[in-house]
Structure 1
Amino acid sequence: MDNQKKVSAVIVTYNRLELLKKSIDALLNQEYKLSHIIIVDNNSEEDTKNYLESLGDQINYLRLPENIGGAGGFNRGIRYFVEETEDDFLWIMDDDTIAHPDSLQAFMEYQQQQPNFSFLASKVLWKDGSLAKMNLMGYMNGRRIPDSENRVVETRNATFVSLLLARDVVVKIGLPIVDFFIWGDDIEYTERAARIRPGYFVPTSQVTHATKANVGSSLLEDSSDRTPRYFYHYRNKMYYARQRKMYRKLRAEVRPWLDYIRILFSNTENKKGKLAIIRKGVKAGLKFNPSVEYAQDKKSK
């Protein structure tokens, strides 16, 4: 038992208390016990603060003075993991991720067989048991991984909805980019990790992503009140596209303009605003060049 690998979990939350309670409860009841549960609170309302404080030493509570987005929250949580713990692995998730009792156990069983990985990603389900459309993953050739896939397969990137990272990889690649604020921070970060060692989809590790509806991200289909946040989608995509090799770089850079054409010839609400946000995001992305921060590894001190 003394040789068992230690794992920290990090959740970033912002004003979703009922989901957060379910997410934390699922972590406290994992078959493979966690060493640390790190909750990063992006300055939520008092009800969230009071609940998290009531958990005492069951969690490590980091309350931020302001909301710095999901990217900023994961930056702070991962820094805490590197600088304040000596755990071997980091398990990342959103506050609407509900882990199954054996989610972590499945990861840890696979890492015993194949320790040479940068990250492992769970199979992400929606509340009805179907694949969560927001978290669909792809094979290395770009084709979508279907629900029927039951093998561990290599993947280029993954979301922060149940992701296990090796400590030495985190130390080498640094932290998520705070300036992303929201959107694409997980794709950029996992692609950065996969340049060190391969990342894998592990279908035996399953979680539920408890979003309101099972839909992907689409500016065309999304409601007009959510249009402004797509600025980060297009700006950030232009940055991480530049880090890719030529074919995938060009494909990613063309995609915003395909979205533009589809919206231009559609009957979507707020068409003018949606077209403007694509132009604004792409233009900002051409000059967007944020720096990567690194944490001081507690194990190396």
Structure 2
Amino acid sequence: MKNNIAVVLVTFNRSDMLKQNLLSLKEQGNLTYFIIDNNSQDNTREVVDAFQASVDSPVHYFNTQANLGGAGGFAFGCEKALEHKDFTHLWLADDDVTFAPDCLENLIPYIDQKTILQPMRYAVDGTNAEASSTVIDLDSIFILNHKRNSVMGTSFENAKEPFGIQHIPFEGPLIPRSIFEKVGIPDKRYFIFSDDLDFSLKSLRNGFDIKCVPLAKMTRLRPAEPNYKPTDWKSYFVYRNFFRIHKEFGNNCFVRKRPYLLALMVSGYCLLTGNIKGLNIIKDAFRDGMSGDFNLDTKYIP
């Protein structure tokens, strides 16, 4: 079967990085583009228009008229792309990454309808930045971080052949249509953070595979910014979604209830350090992350 690939690219107020991203995608060959703009206030539209004029490929631009977050943008874009029945795969990308000229060429040999393929990520200085985990541990009781054995810093950095991972970022994964048909589109309720982990776990639990392809290379244009100190709006989503993953995917009652202990520990730290703002963030994150409808407190949307 011919592989018809659509790019689903989400962007928000990073037109300079978006320009670099699109130039790298232009090198990948014949693709169809679905560019989802979360209502940017910079010159994103001009960048897209210039790119559209420079390629023969179809370019579909959508302004969502609101900041839907990465999760909402990918949900919106995947839904639009999947309306076109001829696409066999969707290639998801944030605006702050670029792809090596032969990235897609090195993914193609491993394409099928049961495997998500993730390129290997590097930092701008050339060091390995692939933070995907080879193990997601939602069984063990006495751990705080369920993401185990990150690729970077391990022997997997030097791998030549594809190897299994259990977590993708929405930065470059090539995803078969069959997976969307089985597990659905990304859950827009996450807004940012852990939407990719939620999708990964659903895919694995439905019998699909995830592999990292080392010869397919891409670059992160800015460093990851994990923030585990509850100080700002991002912290709300870090903890809210962290709690949700445990509640939804914990393999035993202890793991599913672990958010109670984690919330108590972080709240205690906030009290000891006088971080009253952080205490309120954790309270809101716990309330919404553990809620039946996975509520979102709109005051934290920038």
TM-score range for the pair, normalised by the shorter chain length = 0.7 to 0.9
Given candidates 180, 187, 201, the residue that maps to 2:212 is 201
CA distance in 1, matches of 2:35, 2:4: 17
CA distance in 1, matches of 2:267, 2:294: 29
CA distance in 1, matches of 2:262, 2:119: 28
Please name the residue that 1:299 is paired with: none
Please name the residue that 2:298 is paired with: none
Aligned pairs (5 A) from 1:146-185: 146=154, 147-185=157-195
Answering whether residue 164 of structure 2 is matched by residue 191 of structure 1, we say no
C-alpha distance 80-136 of structure 1, shift in aligned 2 (>3 A): same
Q: CA deviation at 1:19?
A: 0.4
Q: Deviations over 1:207-264 (max 9, x none)?
A: 10101xx3441223x8x4xx12211222122222223242594596378448717944
C-alpha distance 99-262 of structure 1, shift in aligned 2 (>3 A): farther
CA distance in 2, matches of 1:254, 1:202: 37
Given candidates 33, 40, 64, the residue that maps to 2:36 is 40
Please name the residue that 2:238 is paired with: 233
Given candidates 131, 136, 142, the residue that maps to 1:136 is 131
Q: CA deviation at 1:79?
A: 0.6
Please name the residue that 1:260 is paired with: 266
Please name the residue that 2:141 is paired with: none
Secondary structure at 1:242's aligned position in 2?
Answer: helix
CA distance in 1, matches of 2:216, 2:272: 39
C-alpha distance 45-287 of structure 1, shift in aligned 2 (>3 A): same
User: Contact 2:92–2:173 (CA<8 Å) still a contact in 1?
Assistant: yes
Aligned pairs (5 A) from 1:23-172: 23-30=21-28, 33-45=29-41, 47-54=43-50, 55-56=52-53, 58=57, 59-111=59-111, 115=112, 117-132=114-129, 136-140=131-135, 142-145=148-151, 146=154, 147-172=157-182
C-alpha distance 234-139 of structure 1, shift in aligned 2 (>3 A): same
Please name the residue that 1:295 is paired with: none
Please name the residue that 1:242 is paired with: 247
- TM, length-normalised to structure 2: 0.81
Q: CA deviation at 1:288?
A: 4.5
Secondary structure at 1:53's aligned position in 2?
Answer: helix
Given candidates 274, 277, 285, the residue that maps to 1:273 is 277
User: Contact 1:9–1:92 (CA<8 Å) still a contact in 2?
Assistant: yes
CA distance in 2, matches of 1:149, 1:289: 41
Secondary structure at 2:284's aligned position in 1?
Answer: helix
- What is the total number of aligned residue pairs between the two structures? 274
CA distance in 2, matches of 1:259, 1:154: 33
Determine what percentage of the aligned residue pairs are the same residue.
Answer: 22
CA distance in 1, matches of 2:257, 2:105: 37
Q: CA deviation at 1:149?
A: 3.6
Please name the residue that 2:227 is paired with: 218
Secondary structure at 1:143's aligned position in 2?
Answer: strand
User: Contact 1:122–1:202 (CA<8 Å) still a contact in 2?
Assistant: yes
Q: Deviations over 1:146-204 (max 9, x none)?
A: 22344422222211011110111112211112222112111111211222212112212
- TM, length-normalised to structure 1: 0.81
User: Contact 1:239–1:289 (CA<8 Å) still a contact in 2?
Assistant: no
Greater CA deviation, 278-287 or 257-266?
Answer: 257-266
User: Contact 1:9–1:34 (CA<8 Å) still a contact in 2?
Assistant: no
Q: Deviations over 1:22-53 (max 9, x none)?
A: 101111111xx243011101111262112323
Q: Any unmatched runs of 5+ in structure 1?
A: 292-301
Please name the residue that 2:18 is paired with: 20
- Structure 1 moving runs of 4+ over 6 Å: none
